[in-house]
Amino acid sequence: NLDTFTSPVGIAVDRFIAKRQSEFPHATGDLSQLLRDIVIASKIISREINRAGLSGIEGMTEDENIQGEPQRMLDVIAEYRFKKALMNGQQVCAILSEESDDIIETGNHDGKYVVAIDPLDGSSNVDVNVSVGTIFSIYKRVSPQGEPFTKEDFLQPGTAQVAAGYILYGSSTMLVYTTGCGVNGFTYEPSLGEYFLSHPNITQPEDGEYYSVNERDKDEFSRDVKTYLYELKAKKKGTRYVGSLVCDFHRNLLKGGVYLYPATEKYTKGKLRLMYECHALAFITEQAKGRATNGDIRIMDIKPTEYHERTPIIVGSKGLVDEFEDVQKLISFKK
Ligand code: AHM
Ligand code: MG
């Protein structure tokens, strides 16, 4: 078997995207091109992250982002790379980024799509060599092509996403994305400069052995969340928390598990952002047979009212999210 001596690799991501497009006779190829642009930017960022400790870009800038959080040089570089890639392509009319207060206009009024992106999530982990990620959601604009974007192009519920994905800059760099027909994962082969299909048709296990939450805040969680965590511990579920969302999500997606970022005193609506973190991960988890809720409603059904809004989130294996709701019902019944 020659595969023993050469690297056995699956279909390259470009070919995979093209193949998927050919299955939709009316597809124009715009979404495929947009996905390719994201792929290219991610390769550059993967390279920058790999040598961050040598080039000194893991450090801080003197600026803060819209959330009042310090910005790292890599945050700024990652945003710049995606911005450039999406501006050079002609498919996107505007971009919402975690790192920019205002919408970034690409100048491509003919672009059919808008993109919401967290260019480098968990970037505080870079200087200790822990994995980080990029998260993106793609929406079709609702305003007419040929004109400038409108706020309504962005303020759409998660169910309106046409594609979403993440890149995990981990021990390997991986791209995981969905266009609403299941979830596929691709691993980057740096010597070939290409992503190859390594995780076809990802299905999230219905149960899992781990939960991911920052227990620093445990005394501030609601009674529902406290009781749920108590029950998970009683069932001998273990904790796994990197503090880098894409990593925690990815592990739970492949192995089964649940991730929680509930409301706390500091973050009364949860810490994570609806439009460029939660919607994307909710779309992916649902496509893989998992679930995502804010404790009241399905994350996918939330229609944002502002660009940078936050939401509590409980996301992961269906059985584990169901159990959270069982706890909620029990508590409201006892009241
Ligand atoms: P960021 O978007 O500023 O990088 O913050 C998001 C990160 C997530 O990656 C992670 O899950 C979470 O914040 C960790 O927060 P905490 O340190 O409060 O547990
Ligand atoms: Mg983030």
pLDDT of 132-157, one tens digit each? 999 999 999 999 999 999 999 999 99
Contact 279, 154 (CB under 8 A): no
Along the 335 residues of the chain, how does pLDDT read in single tens digits? 666 555 556 899 999 998 888 887 777 889 999 999 999 999 999 998 888 666 666 667 767 766 677 778 888 899 999 999 999 999 999 999 998 989 999 999 999 999 999 999 998 888 788 999 999 999 999 999 999 999 999 999 999 999 999 999 999 999 999 999 999 999 999 999 999 999 999 999 999 999 999 999 999 999 999 999 999 999 999 999 999 999 999 999 999 999 999 999 999 999 999 999 999 999 999 999 999 999 999 999 999 999 999 999 999 999 999 999 999 999 988 76
- Could you tell me the CA-to-CA distances from 248 to 55, 102, 251 in Å, in that order? 27, 29, 5
Q: How many residues can be counted in the chain?
A: 335
Spacing, Cα 125 to ligand 1 middle (Å): 10
Which residue has a Cα nearest atom 12 of ligand 1? 243
Rounded Cα gap, residues 97 and 38, in angstroms: 14
Spacing, Cα 136 to ligand 2 middle (Å): 11
pLDDT in tens, 7-44: 556 899 999 998 888 887 777 889 999 999 999 999 99
Ligand 1 pocket test: pick from 167, 214, 276 the residue with the most ligand atoms within 8 Å of its Cβ. Answer: 214
Q: Give me the pLDDT at residue 166, please.
A: 98
> Closest Cα partner for 111 from 34, 14, 22?
34
Establish how many alpha carbons lie within 13 A of residue 255's alpha carbon, considering only the half-sphere containing its beta carbon: 15
- Residue 22: other Cβ atoms inside 10 A: 11
DSSP lists the bridge partners of residue 291 as 316
Q: Would you give the distance in Å from CA 219 to the centre of its chain? A: 28
Which residue has a Cα nearest atom 14 of ligand 1? 243
Rounded Cα gap, residues 119 and 211, in angstroms: 25
DSSP lists the bridge partners of residue 261 as 313
Q: Give me the pLDDT at residue 39, please.
A: 96
Q: Give me the pLDDT at residue 69, please.
A: 72
Instruction: Quickly tell me which residue has 């992250």 as its tokens.
Output: 49
Contact 241, 212 (CB under 8 A): yes
Helix (H) or strand (E) holding 258: strand 257-261
Q: Give me the pLDDT at residue 332, please.
A: 85
- Residue 240: other Cβ atoms inside 10 A: 18
Phi (first) and psi of residue 12, to 5 degrees: -70, 150
Name all residues whose Cβ lies below 6 A of ligand 1: 69, 98, 118, 121-123, 214, 243-245, 271
Which residue has a Cα nearest atom 15 of ligand 1? 243
Q: Where are the extended beta strands (E) located within 58-216?
A: 60-64, 70-72, 92-97, 104-105, 113-121, 132-140, 161-169, 173-178, 183-189, 194-199, 210-212
Helix (H) or strand (E) holding 2: none
Q: Please name which ligand lies nearest the alpha carbon of 267.
A: 1
Q: Looking at the chain, list the stretches that DSSP marks H as alpha helix, in order from N- to C-terminal side.
A: 13-22, 30-50, 52-55, 73-88, 151-154, 223-234, 245-255, 279-287, 318-334
Q: Is 98 annotated as a binding residue?
A: yes
